Amino acid sequence: MAGTPGTSPADQAREAAVEAALGKLDLDAKARLLSGQDVWSLPALPEIGLRSLVMSDGPIGVRGVRWGADDPSIALPSPTALAATWDPELARRAGVLLAQEARRKGVHVLLAPTVNLHRSPLGGRHFEAYSEDPYLTGAIGAGYVSGVQSGGVGTTVKHFVANDAETDRLTVNNLVGERALRELYLAPFEMIVENARPWGIMTAYNTVNGTTMTEHHHLVNEVLRGEWGFDGYNVSDWTAARSTVADIEGGLDVAMPGPQTVYGAPLAQAVRDGRVEETTVDTAVRNVLRLAARVGALESVEPAVTEPPRTVDGEALAREIARRAFVLVRNENNALPLKPGTVALIGAAAREARVLGGGSATVFPSRIVSPLDGLTAALPEGSLSYAVGADPDTELAVADKGFELRAVCRDADGTVIGTRGASGGQIQWTDSDFPDGVTHTNLHTIELTGTFTPSAAGTHTFGIKGTGSFTLTVDGTTHYDDIQRPADDGDPFDAFFGGPAPHAQPELTAGEPVEVSLTHVVDLPEDAPFKVVTFALAHQEPQRDADELIAEAVEAARGADTAVVVVATTERVESEGFDRKNLDLPGRQDELVRAVAAANPNTVVVVNSGSPVELPWRDEVAAVLLSWFPGQEGGAALADVLTGAYEPGGRLPTTWGSLADAPVTQVVPEDGELPYTEDLFIGYRAWEKAGRTPSYPFGHGLGYTDWTYESVEIDGTTAKVRVRNSGQRAGREVVQVYLARSEAGPDRPARWLAGFAAVEAGPGESAEAVVELPRRAFEVWDEATDSWSLVKGSYEIQVSRSITDRRLTATINV
């Protein structure tokens, strides 16, 4: 029923408690509740027994209110990896683990999942969203939301809607046709609302068809709440709320972060001035109180979940998801699994694994298993060698190995007012998280101070990430004493996501510690929208000659039975706040792969990226395994799969191809507008329409066994597919069902994903995959009547291993 919360006795009890609490609040308290009290939380209202509601990013872990390595979190594989499992039940289990993490960290609401679509491969936050297909995105997202909420923790499905790229993300006006909006971009949100009843939604920074999303009365009040019956809370993306009246009337319940927002005192004033009805404020407060009641932050009533699920082993789950997500896109002559023999492991990312994407999705795991760690543990002693080959990271990284640092806070007189250990060189403190005795009024400087013991002799580079006034001293010499200025695109998160600048290049001796100090003058204006101190000491090891490194790797490859090259993107390539300029692997990694492949025909390439990159050498190597950002246990999972202890389970959730062939590449607005001119045709829909062949199609992925598709039987709108494991070992197969239409009718893609199901079978055994085909797969959005319309007639059912690998067909008439 549209707009009404659940009707079970427990739901009714919570609704009654919400009404009772609302009735006790005066206008000022109500307006205050809708405005962040700091970066991550809402104010407590003790007079109604309401605790402070705490939110946290998401999606691969729960960071908590502390933003640093001193409060670690389990880091699961990237969302693209989760989608590559094509397994909503595994997504649900990921959610259960995240609820457990949230409870451990005192978090009530997770700011996840991200269900925007992979409209263009250039989207910078691609790794953080699931897929180019709305159905797959909705199915994985619904699994994730059910899992988190089964643990009594809220979710915030984001970013509603059409936040599919990052360029000018705060202001871009995305012009999206009504059918594309309904059939593509809104579809995952709708599916999740229908199947998993999320307790929250986040409205995006961007504008859609002329109205900024935090003020979008039509899409929020009429579509999301009215048509779909969403009864959760609606929070702005961080700093996205810009107008008191338009936001509250557009259905925005909560403006984050605080303390300076357009709600709170300005909202109470708007009611007093007669510009906003108090009943409109009441509606928003009700939504927040309902959330509080569900998560157990409203004392007067039982939460939605009284018995949290059984404890989950986070490390084991991270490892399981990673190996289930790895997509084996090429495996000539069964190069994988590895045969007994020697292995030359090559690549900077094999040692310094890139396990997660950058930006607000960052969490800090307590350990990272690199491919080198994983393979060292799994392979017989003496059979593994390692060479860097080529380092894609030309930039300095946050100071880490060899550093012993602490943070010292001083007031304006230079008196020490507090200290805190700093396990890495990064400071990212909100004002609710300053060391004891430190407040944003008495804090004047923070000094990161301690020692660095080099492991290698040579020219070390030191630098600074962040904006404002800094003094950098290494080994008694002051190398920098000046102001670093922000980039001028106005993104409030530049200071978090911008790159470090190099400032000192001393010659150091291996094993001899030197003193390092970085002092930052903290400047937190009273009227800053949110109060976070963020900066980092950055460092880079002495750089070796690049030709020499490649030559060394080639030698190692030549002498081994198998060469395993790990190639990767960097944080400059895949993060938040900017889009990608190309799909190239950074640095000299393509050259490295070609040189190694020429020296050893048995070369296996592991691609460590969250989203598509070009693989120009793909036909010159024996095997290509896409590992995504594999999470903290990625190296262990990689060893599981390379050795054959497990098969790689993933199928592509997004088409991989070259940028020159990619059909949708426009992500840069012109005059503030980004027209989605491709309309209904993104991802595989667009590749097929353009008649272009990608490197690897949507749905593709090999395991370690073979499958024969024996029969398909249609029963109503259910497809029953019998498949047989015709290979030598047990395996898991994802049976995909696409629909195609040959009769005249509304414009539709050549085929589209209608459903999928996975089966497991031992060698020689058969299994039946039962795939339900939802009514929506046969419908289109009718712009004339503003409603869904069933397109009657005959459809071909294509039972496939990928969009292009069709195994069986049948016909269905609706």
The minimum distance between CB 289 and ligand BGC, in angstroms, equals 22
Nearest in space to 631 (alpha carbons), one of 288, 322, 301, 289: 322
The minimum distance between CB 362 and ligand BGC, in angstroms, equals 10
- Residues 296 and 51: their CA atoms lie apart, in Å, by 9
Of residues 20 and 528, the one with the C-beta less far from ligand BGC: 528
The minimum distance between CB 100 and ligand BGC, in angstroms, equals 20
Pairing verdict, β 426-430 and 532-540 = antiparallel
Of residues 239 and 473, the one with the C-beta less far from ligand BGC: 239
String of contacts with ligand BGC for each residue 448-487, x by CB under 6 A: ----------------------------------------
**DSSP 3-state of 291:** helix
Of residues 572 and 807, the one with the C-beta less far from ligand BGC: 572
57 binds ligand BGC (CB under 6 A): yes
- Residues 382 and 562: their CA atoms lie apart, in Å, by 14
**DSSP 3-state of 538:** strand
- Residues 313 and 633: their CA atoms lie apart, in Å, by 12
CB-side neighbour CA atoms (13 Å) of 302: 9
**DSSP 3-state of 616:** coil
Of residues 94 and 235, the one with the C-beta less far from ligand BGC: 235
Torsions phi, psi for 37 (to 5 deg): -90, -20
Considering only residues 103 to 122 of the shown chain, the ones binding ligand BGC according to CB under 6 A are: 111
158 binds ligand BGC (CB under 6 A): yes
Of residues 158 and 801, the one with the C-beta less far from ligand BGC: 158
- Residues 508 and 511: their CA atoms lie apart, in Å, by 9
- Residues 799 and 300: their CA atoms lie apart, in Å, by 53
Of residues 114 and 484, the one with the C-beta less far from ligand BGC: 114
The minimum distance between CB 237 and ligand BGC, in angstroms, equals 5
- Residues 10 and 190: their CA atoms lie apart, in Å, by 25
Total of chain residues touching ligand BGC, rule CB under 6 A: 7
Pairing verdict, β 787-790 and 779-782 = antiparallel
3-state secondary structure 249-276: HCCCCEECCCCCCCCCHHHHHHHHCCCC
The minimum distance between CB 126 and ligand BGC, in angstroms, equals 14
Catalytic residue from among 87, 133, 168, 237: 237
Among 130, 144, 238, 628, binds ligand BGC (CB under 6 A): 238
655 binds ligand BGC (CB under 6 A): no
Give strand ranges (E) for 676-743: 707-715, 718-725, 731-740
Which residue intervals of 435-588 are DSSP H helices?
Answer: 494-497, 546-558
493 binds ligand BGC (CB under 6 A): yes
The minimum distance between CB 241 and ligand BGC, in angstroms, equals 13
- Residues 346 and 348: their CA atoms lie apart, in Å, by 7
Instruction: Determine the residue with CB nearest ligand BGC.
Output: 360
**Any catalytic annotation for residue 237?**
yes
The minimum distance between CB 202 and ligand BGC, in angstroms, equals 7
Of residues 205 and 646, the one with the C-beta less far from ligand BGC: 205
The minimum distance between CB 553 and ligand BGC, in angstroms, equals 38
Amino acid at 255: A
Of residues 237 and 475, the one with the C-beta less far from ligand BGC: 237
- Residues 451 and 99: their CA atoms lie apart, in Å, by 38
Among 214, 360, 467, 540, binds ligand BGC (CB under 6 A): 360
Q: Cα dihedral sign for 626, 632, 634, 640?
A: negative
126 binds ligand BGC (CB under 6 A): no
Of residues 159 and 751, the one with the C-beta less far from ligand BGC: 159
Nearest in space to 561 (alpha carbons), one of 772, 718, 338: 338
Residues 6+ apart with CB under 8 A from 485: 467
Q: Do the beta carbons of residue 589 and residue 628 sit within 8 Å?
A: no
Considering only residues 167 to 186 of the shown chain, the ones binding ligand BGC according to CB under 6 A are: none
Of residues 63 and 182, the one with the C-beta less far from ligand BGC: 63
574 binds ligand BGC (CB under 6 A): no
Give strand ranges (E) for 173-326: 173-175, 200-203, 207-208, 211-212, 233-236
Residue with tokens 């712009």: 783
Among 87, 164, 237, 475, binds ligand BGC (CB under 6 A): 237
Alpha carbon of 517 to those of 316, 425, 532, 769: distances in Å? 39, 10, 21, 61
The binding site for ligand BGC (CB under 6 A) comprises 57, 111, 158, 237-238, 360, 493
Please give the positions annotated as active site. 237
